[in-house]
Amino acid sequence: MKFKTVVSAALGFSLFVVPSFSQSSLNRQQQIESHSRLAQELLKNNRPDRAAQEFAAILQLDPNNVSARVDLAEFYLEAPGIVGGGQDKARAQADLVAKLNPAKAHWIRGRLAEKNKDLPTAEREYRAAIDASHGGANAWLNLALPKCFQAPFVRTPRAENINGRGGFRTCDLSRVKRALSH
């Protein structure tokens, strides 16, 4: 297998090597895996715009790839509009994912609601994800995490020394337990 070196000015001195292949030399699953690895490497190197292009390439090869659709929805949700983000695009991905994996679609919708600070809707969507996944652990975790981050901001002298911002968030486990018991 040949390799090509990818260097980007945005990466500074970061350098990574990706396989160089002709499209005919790999089967579709290998191409999908290659695009997925490259997308993950781009995300690690703070290049979500290029990673989104790789997720789109995966979807051209396999329109039913739930993982790529969820990753693309997350990009659309977090990225500013100037680089291709947008909540409407994330919502469209959720609609497409709903046909393939209802639990993941509820997760995307929960993230959208959370991003808009609509926590009751986010909780409803996360609970629907739990039901759709038949009690999957990740779905329960997605319900608990927003509750955890609603905890108060605590100021301590030690925290000021650690992060320079004067505090950190604590997770009130009793709040999480109450949320999960409903």
Reported as a single tens digit per residue, the pLDDT across 69-118 is 998 998 898 888 888 889 999 999 999 999 999 999 999 999 999 899 89
Pick the closest to residue 39 from 55, 56, 21, 19 (CA basis): 55
Q: Is the pLDDT of residue 48 over 70?
A: yes
38 DSSP 8-state letter: H
Summary mean pLDDT of the chain: 74
59: tokens are 């979807």
Residue type, 109: R
| Cα–Cα distance measured from residue 110 to residue 107, given in angstroms and rounded to the nearest whole number | 5
| Cα–Cα distance measured from residue 101 to residue 65, given in angstroms and rounded to the nearest whole number | 10
More confident call, 3 vs 34 = 34
CA angle, corner 116, sides to 155 and 170, nearest 5?
Answer: 20
- Three-class secondary structure of residue 154 per DSSP: strand
The model's pTM is 0.65
180: tokens are 């999960």
Q: Which domains does the chain have, with CATH numbers?
A: 1-62 (no CATH), 64-150 (1.25.40), 152-182 (no CATH)
Asked if 49 contacts 10 with a C-beta cutoff of 8 angstroms, the reply is: no
Q: Is the pLDDT of residue 142 over 50?
A: yes
- CB-facing half-sphere around the CA of 18: CA atoms within 13 A: 18
Q: Is the pLDDT of residue 19 over 60?
A: no
| Cα–Cα distance measured from residue 148 to residue 173, given in angstroms and rounded to the nearest whole number | 7
126: tokens are 């996360």
CA angle, corner 163, sides to 160 and 164, nearest 5?
Answer: 55
